Amino acid sequence: MQHEFWHERWQQNQIGFHKQETNPFLQRYWPKLKTNPADRVFVPLCGKSNDLLWLRTLGHFVVGVELSPLAVASFFSENGLQPLVNNQGNFSSNEIDGLKILCGDFFALRPTDIGPIQAVYDRASLVALPPDMRVEYAMHLAALVPPKTQILMITFDYPQHEMPGPPFSVNRAEIDSLFGHWCDIELLASEDVLTHEAHFKQRGLSRLEENIYHLLVR
């Protein structure tokens, strides 16, 4: 899956994954992580998600990374925010008080780019990637975050043959394979969401669960 795929999705406004409202599973399960307000939170492949602002209201310094300059510009303009823009290595840094979005390739990130992270929020990162890139994603994330980092991860599980991704289906066995050797994994909840996601039913899905995981980096 090349960069051009995502640039085209944003340019053509094919962004069904974007939600205007704060993710309800984030609001419900983030407290399970027992983070401190001063903790620094990393949000990979963040798009223009308003979840960034919700995390910021808790006192966290939030660092997102997003490939699409259009998504980054839209986030700030749609929220009436004027970021300070600087070049930071391979990235364009767009920062306001308590929140920074790095525009560039997640796979080019170094730990020094995002700083000392205590928590990660992944709602639409892992499921946006095909299988080979999910392996690379997990390996690169492991290189970015220190031990004791907590990760709240939300995934989809559905019969993959019924619908081409993204979003892709990622079941528990794959979570264990990708993260089990460097994280402790707890399934917080599994929710049947097909009745609430009519567009997925229209695409032919017979089953759709969202699974919410708490991962603790060893």
Tokens of 134: 């999910």
**153 three-state secondary structure:** strand
10 annotated to bind ligand:
yes
Residue 169 is classified by DSSP as: B
66 annotated to bind ligand:
yes
Which distant-in-sequence residues (6+ apart) come within 8 Å of 79 by Cβ? Answer: 50, 53
Amino acid in position 3: H
Parallel/antiparallel/unpaired status of strands 84-88 and 61-66: unpaired
What angle (nearest 5°) sits at the alpha carbon of residue 76, between those of residues 72 and 82?
120
Tokens of 83: 């970021």
What angle (nearest 5°) sits at the alpha carbon of residue 26, between those of residues 2 and 124?
10
45 annotated to bind ligand:
yes
Interatomic CA distance for residues 151 and 119, integer angstroms: 6
Q: Is residue 158 a contact partner of residue 81, using CB atoms and an 8 Å limit?
A: no
Interatomic CA distance for residues 44 and 66, integer angstroms: 7
123 annotated to bind ligand:
yes
Amino acid in position 79: N
Q: Which residues are annotated as a binding site?
A: 10, 45, 66, 123
Q: Which residues are annotated as a binding site for S-adenosyl-L-methionine?
A: 10, 45, 66, 123
